[in-house]
Amino acid sequence: MTSVTSTPSLWQRFKQSDFLYYFLRDKVAMVSFAFFLLFLTMALTAPLLAPTNPYALASIDIMDSELPPVWLEGGDERFLLGTDEQGRDILSTILYGSRLSLTIGFLAVGLQLLLGIVIGLSAGYFGGRIDSFLMRFADIQLSFSTMMVAIIVSAIFKASFGGEFYSQYAVVMLVVIIGVAEWPQYARTIRASVLAEKKKEYVEAARVMGFKSLRIMFRHILPNCLSPILVISTVQIANAIMSEAALSFLGLGLPVDQPSLGALISIGFKYIFSGAWWITVFPGVVLISLVLVINLLGDWLRDVFNPKIYKG
């Protein structure tokens, strides 16, 4: 009599995985993930949580400008964290600004990932002159700082399309700028993984069976390169958010009517010495906290996927 063994479901395999085991044992990772989910939930539900809509001109009164937080003298209970120079509620602008910053961060990393996968796979798999050309191009871009590349590309876009067009499509422009500026990190990481994977037997077997190069690259090699991709993605999301904040602070990011966290810090910096410190401090604290928890998650993922470092 033969016994039939049932295949465990995806959820059962996840519950029994080392990944979940190590996650539940690491309090820093659990707290960081909880805070990241909190930031993400608040950003996604900003229209529901925000007391006012900072984009609606009808809800803004210039007479409410530069009001301090509610616990300070002169504060108004309608504005928990105070208002900015235009009379917008700081809490509302932070919630909407976080949504913009996270949107730009995720989309920019998606563009980096797309470029990095195509270029890194091609360079590592084909080698030779293709590898030399693509990696020399990446080396040239890496010789410049990310911010310098972003500023140059931003200036080219503004000069080519005009300031009005740039402001209208600022989110798309920033995604392209940051994505183009930081793809070499992905390309180099993926190339290194491909160089190790393409020497293994399963790749040789796929070649013997007559599979085309594209199928071998994307169906067989790429899934075995996901661990370093996942690790670098967390770091790149934090870098993309900081790049957007820096560009907005320099006046090359989002327009005033679409405030991101970086734009809020830039706006408030002009008033910090006049006593309206809350316009800069509260968005700054949120930005630092968001980047910190993402980096902590990235460090934990790096340790988990590297058994030589992580001992459990």
List, as own/partner pairs, every contact residues 251-254 make where C-beta atoms lie below 8 angstroms and the sequence separation is at least 24, other chains included. 252/150, 252/151, 252/154, 252/155, 252/158, 253/170, 253/174, 254/100, 254/170, 254/171, 254/174
Confidence of residue 7 (pLDDT cuts 50, 70, 90): low
Tell me the C-alpha distance between 308 and 148, whole Å.
36
Per-residue pLDDT of 18-34, as tens digits, reads: 777 777 888 888 898 99
The domains found in the chain, sorted by start residue, are 25-46+87-305 (1.10.3720.10)
The reported pLDDT for the residue numbered 309 is 46
- Range among 17-26, 161-170, 228-237 rated most confident: 228-237
Q: 285: how many CB neighbours lie within 10 A of its CB?
A: 12
pLDDT for the residue 41: 92
Residue-wise pLDDT for 235-286, tens only, equals 888 888 888 888 887 777 777 777 788 888 887 777 777 778 888 888 889 9
Flag whether pLDDT at 92 surpasses 80: yes
If you search the block for the tokens 């700028």, which residue do you land on? 177
Checking if the pLDDT of 303 tops 50, the result is: yes
pTM as predicted: 0.84
CA dihedral 162, 168, 172, 177 (to 10 degrees): 30
Provide Rg for the chain, Cα atoms.
23
Query: Greater confidence, 308 or 275?
Result: 275
Question: What tokens does 81 get?
Answer: 């964290």
Mean pLDDT throughout 178-182?
85
Q: What is the pLDDT of residues 103-155, one digit of tens each?
A: 988 999 999 999 999 999 999 888 889 888 998 888 888 887 777 877 787 77
Examine the pLDDT at 164 and tell me if it is beyond 70.
yes
